[in-house]
Amino acid sequence: MENFSEVMALFLSVDNFLAIAVGVIVGVVVGAIPGLTATMAVALALPFTFSMEPVTAILLLVGIYKGGMYGGSITAILIRTPGSPASACTLLDGYPMAQQGKAKKALKTALYSSVVADMISNVALIFFASYLAKIALNFGPPEYFWLICFSLTIIVSVSGDSVIKGLIGASLGIIVSTVGLDAVYGTQRLTFDDYNLMDRVSFIPLLIGLFAIPEVIEFYTSKVAPHIRTAVSGASLTWKEFKGLLKTIVRGSLIGVIIGAIPGTGATSAAFISYSEAKRTSPRKANFGKGEIEGVAAAESGNNGVAGATLIPLLSLGIPGDVITAIILGAFMIHGLTPGPVLFQENLTLVYALFCGIMVSSFVLVFVGNAAIRYFSIIADIPKTILLPIVLMFCIYGAYAVNNSTFDIGLMLVFGIMGFIFNRTGIAAAPFLIGFILGPMFEDNLRRTILISKGDLSIFVRGPITWVFILLTVASLLFAIRRYWMSRKEAMA
């Protein structure tokens, strides 16, 4: 009871509710603008959280994440441009529906499927995160070392078209993560005698540089694409129709939860698996791909079911499930918190306050989503010619705000150019970020293990938990090799 009142005291503040509302609105708006991504929005919002309380800061970012997941489907349905890869599946039936004059129905289906899936995902988070954290309390450095090795294999799934390029990106991220003073010996590593680099490469300039600046450079180095105007028309979703879709939505949500809880599998695969499962079991399977309302519900529930579940490995083990949770992990660290089992021991009140906020964010999404449907044309019709100079301004101010230093602006621009080169050469930026975040964790746990065993390497296979992670790592690597051969075969065909 005492804990409950502490949680409520921490959660029930105007700032938290405001952060959730602003986060969801920003997420939906950014997600609804083609070319801007939720990842970019979360990265840009990070500097704004410096002066906030940790709970408020994390809730703002989670709000953007959730809003962005839904916002991406708006453009997928209306203009056949998915705001995020996860919304690609939604356009299969959403866009044909819009063409048939049922845009409003498709958007409402997407919204309510997203909200239901989000809630189911949140409940799963609340139940499983603490349970998993309890198990993780038995982990020592060798177990964590293998867990991080396993997590590093998620790079394969975020590598985009080329696994090799993704792995190169991750290795480069690891190299950049080693810049600074060595944690054990205090010697300089790759600092080039510049004192600005002694305290590692700042996370925020790197993040903004990788995910926001390339969009700006890409826009000014490409021809101006014609601006597409949109319209939301047709009848809305009826209660009877919604009831008929509930089974599909619940199934899609559960698929999303299971997939989201596994690091690296991602919302895109959840959406497609949910969609194919709905198609397989539907009596109207022939209508899928031609504007079937069940297709929209399946895709959206699948991809939104992932949102809460990706926070399970993040909160309980400290392992990011995807790029956005990797950024949220950075936010935790900026606020002096380390996600993982210790967080549940030392900051249980904070964790439960976060859970409360995450639940509230689902309800906020209903209101914001409905407003977005009504005022969508205003949101989406802001031309990029006006929007991107403002985005660049936010990037610059955000990077400067970290240390009040122009060095960070330069650093951000360097990573921006790097991200742009990555885009042009087909190297995904996500593996670079995962490498940058997991690299120091890998090294830290490797060194701790060696120090506690006094150099005896048999400690790395000391018990069943280490073996479980070794097997998972090997299985994941085999899957990666298989994926590489399949993609090669496809390229050759």
Partner 1 sequence: METSEKQFVEASEAHYGRWNPNSVLGGVFSILAVSFLFYVIPRYIEMPFSMQHPLLSPQFLPQLAGWLVFVLSALLMVDGLINPPKRGEPEELRRGVPVMRQVLMLAAGIVYAFFFEQLGAIGSGIFACVLLFLASGLRSIWLYALTIIFPVVVTLLFIYLLNVPLPVGTLWESFFQI
**Residue from 93, 292, 294, 443 in contact with partner 1 (CB under 8 A):** 443
Q: Which of 9, 355, 47, 97 is nearest to 212 (CA)?
A: 47
459 is a contact residue toward partner 1 (CB under 8 A): no
Report, in Å, the least distance between residue 222 CB and partner 1. Answer: 5
Q: To the nearest whole angstrom, how small is the minimum distance from the Cβ of residue 490 to partner 1?
A: 11
**Mask: binding to partner 1, 202-221, rule CB under 8 A, as x and -?**
--------------xx--xx
| Segment interacting with partner 1, rule: CB under 8 A, options 167-175, 268-276, 285-293, 299-307 | 167-175
Question: CA-CA distance, 288 to 360, in Å (whole number)?
Answer: 33
**Closest to partner 1 by CB, 80 or 447:** 447
Candidates 90, 126, 89, 83; CA nearest to 109 is 90
Q: Cβ of residue 441: shortest distance to partner 1, in angstroms? A: 11
Q: Comparing C-alpha atoms, which of 232, 234, 241 is closest to residue 292?
A: 241
Binding span for partner 1 by CB under 8 A among 83-91, 171-179, 304-312, 355-363: 171-179
Nearer to partner 1, 79 or 246 (CB): 79
Question: Which region, judged by CB under 8 A, interacts with partner 1, from 170-178, 226-234, 307-315, 353-361?
Answer: 170-178
Here the tokens at position 224 are: 């101006």
Q: Which stretch binds partner 1 (CB under 8 A): 17-25, 105-113, 347-355, 382-390?
A: 382-390
Distance of closest approach, residue 188 Cβ to partner 1, in angstroms: 5
The minimum distance between CB 120 and partner 1, in angstroms, equals: 35
Kindly state the smallest distance separating residue 403's Cβ from partner 1, in Å: 11
Size of the chain in residues:
493
Q: Cβ of residue 249: shortest distance to partner 1, in angstroms?
A: 35
Applying CB under 8 A, which part among 143-151, 303-311, 369-377, 436-444 lies near partner 1? 436-444
Q: Which is nearer to partner 1, 447 or 483 (CB)?
A: 447
Q: Does 276 bind partner 1 (CB under 8 A)?
A: no
**Binding track, positions 224-263, relative to partner 1; x by CB under 8 A:** xx--------------------------------------
Task: List the interface residues with partner 1, window 32-61 (CB under 8 A).
Answer: 47-48, 50-51
- Is position 439 an interface residue for partner 1 (rule: CB under 8 A)? yes
The footprint of partner 1 on residues 392-421 (CB under 8 A) is 392-394, 396-397, 400-401, 404, 406, 409-410, 413
3-state secondary structure the chain: CHHHHHHHHHHCCHHHHHHHHHHHHHHHHHHHCCCCCHHHHHHHHHHHHCCCCHHHHHHHHHHHHHHHHHHHHHHHHHHCCCCCHHHHHCHHHHHHHHHCCCHHHHHHHHHHHHHHHHHHHHHHHHHHHHHHHHHHCCCCHHHHHHHHHHHHHHHHHHCCCCHHHHHHHHHHHHHHHCCEECCCCCCEECCCCCHHHCCCCCHHHHHHHHHCHHHHHHHHCCCCCCCCCCCCCCCCCCHHHHHHHHHHHHHHHHHHHHHHHCCCCHHHHHHHHHHHHHHHHCCCHHHCCCCCHHHHHHHHHHHHHHHHHCHHHHHHHCCCCCHHHHHHHHHHHHCCCCCCHHHHHHCHHHHHHHHHHHHHHHHHHHHHHHHHHHCHHHHHCCCHHHHHHHHHHHHHHHHHHHHCCHHHHHHHHHHHHHHHHHHHHCCCHHHHHHHHHHHHHHHHHHHHHHHHHCCCHHHHHCCHHHHHHHHHHHHHHHHHHHHHHHHHHHHHC
Q: Which of residues 58-97 bind partner 1 (CB under 8 A)?
A: none
Decide: is 168 part of the binding site for partner 1 (CB under 8 A): yes
Supply 116's token pair: 């239901």
Among 190, 198, 471, 481, binds partner 1 (CB under 8 A): 190
By CB under 8 A, tell whether 185 contacts partner 1. Answer: yes
Among 250, 334, 348, 446, binds partner 1 (CB under 8 A): 446
Q: Does 458 help bind partner 1 (rule: CB under 8 A)? A: no
- Contacting positions for partner 1 (CB under 8 A): 47-48, 50-51, 162, 164-165, 167-168, 171-172, 174-175, 178, 182, 184-185, 187-192, 216-217, 220-225, 385-386, 388-390, 392-394, 396-397, 400-401, 404, 406, 409-410, 413, 425-426, 435, 439, 442-443, 446-447, 450-451, 454-455, 488, 491-492
